[in-house]
Amino acid sequence: MSLISNFTKIFRDEYGFDTIAIRREALQYLNPGEPPTDILVLDVGTGSGWMAILAAEQGQRVISIDINPECLLRAKHRAEQALMGSVIRPLFVCADALRIPFPDNFFDAAISFDAVHHLFDCPCPAGIKEMIQVCKTHRDIIVAGLNKNGAAAVRTVHDRAGLKHEENRCDVEKLEMMLHDIGLHSTRRDTSFVTIFHAHQQCTMMKNSGQPRLNEPNLFGRIFYCRFGYLT
């Protein structure tokens, strides 16, 4: 197994970060009290695919996006293995988090775990606004950003693998201020690896109705319900 595919094990064994348990904790904030199958979740910057897998395991319908095709192929393969025999499986779509290719109000919730530091519009408001745009008003937006311990571990592991780790200057303190500045009410939960922000839209005025969007949402609904795919 390559080092890049073994990051989860390395973080657990060498740093004590149980990133799977932390992801499960973040998912608990998604529309609690509602039947999981009634929720369509957007997973932004899926990377390893673990967030999509864990959400599908608890019955939530998930569409995961990432701009890196190689990451998506690995995530899809991991999901195929982890969810073998499962009825509910994620759909993986190659897309830019700064230009999410779905209509307004399409998703019931959105989550981004360990991804906002890759957005280069510091302090990354555009990516969060895109999540708001495609989610129904007053629904859950979950953003988990690397804290200092998590960021240091990620840099070290990437350096060891000879990989470049692209990141902006959006630390969790700046992220918290940014969420407030764009009009989101959020609660904060600090973990060993990331800080989880559970945010809510406050009003419909935050929506940018003039932004062009795809106008055929049922296309994605049909693909999602009928097959486990990878779209480019």
Q: Three-state DSSP class for 24?
A: helix
By DSSP bridging, strand 107-113 and strand 40-44 are parallel
Angle at 151 between CA 147 and CA 154, to 5 degrees: 140
The DSSP element (H or E) to which 222 belongs, if any, is: helix 217-226
Q: How far apart are CA 132 and CA 64, in angstroms?
A: 16
Residue pair 65/45 in contact by the 8 Å Cβ criterion: yes
Report pLDDT for 39.
Answer: 87
Q: H helices within 58-204, ranges in order?
A: 69-82, 125-134, 148-160, 172-181
Q: Which amino acid is at 179?
A: L
What pLDDT is stored for residue 66 in this prediction?
95
Q: What domains does the chain contain, in order, with CATH numbers? A: 4-205+216-231 (3.40.50.150)
pLDDT of 74 reads 92
The Cα–Cα gap between 30 and 113 comes to 13
Classify the C-alpha dihedral 10-15-21-23 as positive or negative: negative
b/e sequence 48-60, b meaning 16+ C-beta within 10 Å:
bbbbbbbbbeeeb
Helix (H, G, I), strand (E, B) or coil at 114: coil
Instruction: Report d(CA 181, CA 183) in Å as an integer.
Output: 5
pLDDT value, residue 104: 95
Query: For residue 55, what is the enclosing H or E element?
Result: helix 50-57
Question: pLDDT under 70 in the chain at which residues?
Answer: 1-5, 120-124, 165-170, 202-232
Residue 225: per-residue pLDDT: 37
Distance CA 51, CA 81 (A): 15
How many C-beta neighbours within 10 Å does residue 170 have?
22
